[in-house]
């Protein structure tokens, strides 16, 4: 089984965006050394919790800081962008780092309605929901398959020698349909929708919330930071990632960890986490698991990925 990383560049309470981005580069180097297969960078906008709002900007820095691991977007939220511009940006990245660039595409806004509107070039009206047309146009640029009568067909004459591997990301039945129709590899966000195995199987990859520590007790303590942030997110409050002590007090006062959200977490010691990850992968028929880990302390997040790598006997890049 392949094991990969989805990094949302979390911002711990009292830290800055710059601190979070430095942590991203540090974690990417570690993942490269430990033998993880790919390192994806998320797109989220307008909140204090996550610094990863432009994966196309972070990807070249991560690729330059690493030597082997695949690097990509998890994902680019296509409704915000021109398909032609996305095609240009990612073929440029693929030319700079041949054989290492993934273009993961999403339909979700990655933010709230107001910020979505702010991201629009045209503020005179809400943009139409034309994701299938956007996706087809983007693939047409990358593959040179735009119909002859398409107004932008001549723009496929620049077809590059290198192109990214394209994935469709999703958490709904519709995204699975689009992936099948387009012949795209599909990654399902189980950490957003834990009921996806009913309609997403088989998925090429499944993204799972993972926190691993030497003991189950410590893993649950570390996971409390994410539980608090997501609990408040569901109530419309956006915060930086709090320290466990603060999060545990919040969860004790305002609800147990089980009521803090419907997100599934694979949380525990290495043996427990390996068993949990394998169970989720089997449920989706997936040959790859993409681990999403958010903790207050960066060293704890590093250690979680170290223990996960050990649990699955990943082969370090130095061997």
The per-residue pLDDT for 145 is 86
The per-residue pLDDT for 318 is 66
- Contact status, residue 255 vs residue 279, Cβ threshold 8 Å: no
The per-residue pLDDT for 54 is 94
The per-residue pLDDT for 34 is 98
Burial-class residue 61 by CB neighbours within 10 Å (0-12, 13-18, 19+): middle
The per-residue pLDDT for 161 is 78
Superfamily of domain 2-214+265-311: Luciferase-like domain (3.20.20.30)
Angle between helices 17-34 and 55-65 (to 10 degrees): 50
The domain limits of the chain are: 2-214+265-311
**Regions of the chain with pLDDT less than 70:** 109-111, 157-160, 255-263, 318-319
The per-residue pLDDT for 12 is 98
Task: Report d(CA 30, CA 62) in Å as an integer.
Answer: 11
- Give the Cα-Cα-Cα angle 39, 104, 195 (nearest 5 degrees): 90
Total-model pTM: 0.93
Write out the two tokens for 255.
């609800």
The per-residue pLDDT for 116 is 77
- Contact status, residue 41 vs residue 7, Cβ threshold 8 Å: yes
The per-residue pLDDT for 158 is 67
């Amino acid at each position: 089984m392949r094991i990969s990383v989805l990094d949302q560049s979390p911002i711990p309470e009292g830290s800055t965006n710059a601190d979070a981005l430095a942590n991203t580069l540090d974690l990417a180097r570690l993942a490269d050394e430990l033998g993880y297969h790919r390192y994806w960078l998320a797109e989220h906008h307008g909140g204090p919790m996550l610094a990863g709002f432009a994966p196309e900007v972070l990807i070249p820095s991560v690729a330059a800081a690493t030597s082997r691991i695949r690097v990509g977007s998890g994902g680019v939220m296509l409704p915000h962008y021109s398909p032609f511009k996305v095609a240009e940006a990612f073929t440029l990245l693929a030319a700079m780092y041949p054989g290492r660039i993934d273009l993961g595409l999403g339909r979700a806004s990655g933010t709230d309605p107001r910020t979505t509107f702010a991201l629009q070039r045209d503020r005179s009206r809400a943009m139409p929901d034309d994701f299938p047309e956007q996706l087809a146009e983007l693939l047409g640029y990358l593959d040179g398959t735009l119909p002859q009568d398409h107004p932008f067909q001549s723009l496929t004459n620049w077809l590059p020698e290198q192109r990214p591997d394209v994935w469709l990301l999703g958490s709904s039945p519709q995204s699975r349909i689009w992936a099948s129709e387009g012949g795209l590899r599909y990654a399902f966000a189980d950490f957003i929708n834990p009921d996806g195995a009913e309609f997403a199987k088989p998925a090429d990859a499944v993204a799972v919330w993972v926190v691993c520590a030497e003991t189950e007790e410590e893993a649950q303590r570390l996971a409390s930071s994410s539980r608090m942030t997501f609990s408040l997110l569901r109530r419309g409050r956006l915060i930086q990632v709090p320290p466990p002590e603060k999060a545990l007090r919040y969860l004790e006062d305002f609800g147990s960890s089980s009521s803090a959200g419907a997100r599934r977490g694979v949380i525990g010691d290495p043996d427990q986490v390996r068993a949990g990850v394998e169970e989720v992968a089997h449920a989706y028929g997936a040959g790859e698991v993409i681990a999403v880990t958010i903790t207050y302390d960066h060293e704890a997040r590093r250690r979680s990925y170290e223990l996960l790598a050990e649990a699955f006997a990943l082969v370090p890049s130095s061997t």
